[in-house]
A and B are shown apart, each in its own frame.
Chain A
Amino acid sequence: MNAPTLMLVGGVVAFLVTIHWVRNRDMRERYAIGWLFMAAILLLCGLFPSVIMRWAHFAHLSYSSAVLVVSLTAIYCFSLFVSVALTHQYRRNVRLMQELAILSQRLERLHNAAKANPADEVVH
């Protein structure tokens, strides 16, 4: 199996796996767009190997090195994007946890105050 065929197979698998996870709601469309874009690049590279060959020639690289550079760049960019998304998610989780803890404490205080003064309790 040569490199263009491998990329073609990789692109098809990446495409199918991404669609499968979006369909099962395991992956948000927001993140799927990036992965589908990656799959599309792989597919295009597999279908039109001349594109990479021309670029490899221009950059004075062998074909395999050019494929490696393209793949690593794509993985690096996407990992950076995931790290940023994780950081945002972490901040949101922390704020939710803090709000939840403070609300629980307030509820507990209200509950204790109501127990201490049952006459003040509003009965619906």
Chain B
Amino acid sequence: MLPGRQHLIVLPAYNEEGALRHTVAKLQALPDQFEILIVNDGSTDRTSQIAQELTRTSRLKLFAIDLPINGGIGVAVQTGYLFAEKEARYHFVIQFDADGQHDAASIIKLVEECERRGLDSCIGSRFLGQGEGFRSTFTRRLGIRFLAYLISTIAGTRVTDPTSGFRCVGPRAWKSFAQRYPDDYPEPESLYWCIRNRLKVGEIPVVMYQRQGGVSSIRALRPAYYMVKVTLGILVDLLRRQELHP
């Protein structure tokens, strides 16, 4: 990793009292170049108290923001980008799930891949490796495949895991995301937005684990809504003009 750069790890957290301590503990092995931001998305459990407690005990510099009401994953992640914009000292912003599904050691790989290839966004993909780690349900994998096929076809760039919430985003992308970001289920849409605006996007294989606590935001009848909403979002985005100019 290039020295002298500060990076921010954003942990969107909604009712993650069971997993948050464990997730932050895993991040403590990272070098001091990383700072952590927990965005408590209007949780109704003890997530806020645990996050405040972690600001005092974490080895890495850790901040906690409490959103007064639950706005959804998109709002929580965008708050992280907005925070990074206001602090004006971070280079990469890394989105990392608070539920303990992601591998902390892969953060360095994501950052290094961005630096090595000059990427604006690098996604941690579950489907590029040897198939290790936790496997999601068949229907979910089918949905992911469909979105990957949709984005790959209309963007002309191969993507394998557009729904992954484990990603490293460079300044050109996150400064735009701080201003405009999809509300709910933002990952595939924001990925397509990057490609459409000619930002460099890449993927590296990562291992994902079973969540340590909390519940997925895509449950009950949500998968159907998810697929329709995200597909519509991507297809409508296709009609927009380029918003980022070199």
Count, chain A residues at interface, CB 8 A: 11
Count, chain B residues at interface, CB 8 A: 16
Q: Is the CB of A97 within 8 A of B66?
A: no
Query: Which residues between 177 and 208 of chain B lie within 8 Å of chain A, taking CB atoms?
Result: 183
CB-CB < 8 A to A82: which residues of B? none
CB-CB < 8 A to A97: which residues of B? 67-69, 71, 75
Query: Which residues between 71 and 101 of chain A lie within 8 Å of chain B, taking CB atoms?
Result: 90, 94, 97-101
Q: Is the CB of B71 within 8 A of A105?
A: no
Q: Is the CB of B69 within 8 A of A101?
A: no
Residue of B with least CB distance to A99:
B82
Q: Is the CB of A98 within 8 A of B78?
A: yes
Q: Is the CB of A102 within 8 A of B79?
A: yes
Interface centre among B65, B68, B69 (most CB of A within 10 A): B65
Instruction: Render B53-89 as a binary contact track against A, CB cut-off 8 A, 1 for contact.
Output: 0000000000111111101000100110011001000
Q: Is the CB of B66 within 8 A of A98?
A: no
A90 CA to B82 CA in the complex, in Å? 17
A82 CA to B158 CA in the complex, in Å? 39
| Contact residues of A: prevailing secondary structure | helix
A104: interface (CB < 8 Å) = yes
CB-CB < 8 A to A109: which residues of B? 63
Q: How far is the CB of B81 from chain A (nearest CB, A)?
A: 10
Q: Is the CB of A102 within 8 A of B82?
A: yes
Q: Is the CB of B71 within 8 A of A102?
A: no
A100 CA to B75 CA in the complex, in Å? 13
Q: How far is the CB of B12 from chain A (nearest CB, A)?
A: 12
CB-CB < 8 A to B71: which residues of A? 94, 97
10 contacts between A and B (CB under 8 A): A94-B78, A97-B69, A97-B71, A100-B68, A101-B65, A101-B66, A102-B79, A102-B82, A102-B86, A105-B63
Ranked 3 nearest A-B pairs via Cβ: A98-B79, A105-B65, A101-B65
